[in-house]
Amino acid sequence: MAQGLRWWNVYLILAHTQDAISFGQNDELEELLSLGSITLIQCRAVYEAGYTTLQHLAYANPYHIMKALHNSVDWSKAASSDFLPPSLMDVYKIQAAAKEQYIQRLRRLKRKAKLQGSAVVQ
* pTM score, whole prediction: 0.67
pLDDT at 70: 86
Write down the H helix ranges in 1-87: 8-23, 30-33, 40-48, 54-58, 62-71
- For 23-51, the pLDDT digits (tens) are 555 778 888 888 888 888 888 889 999 99
- For 68-99, the pLDDT digits (tens) are 988 877 766 666 545 667 889 989 999 999 99
- How big is the chain by its Cα radius of gyration, in Å? 18
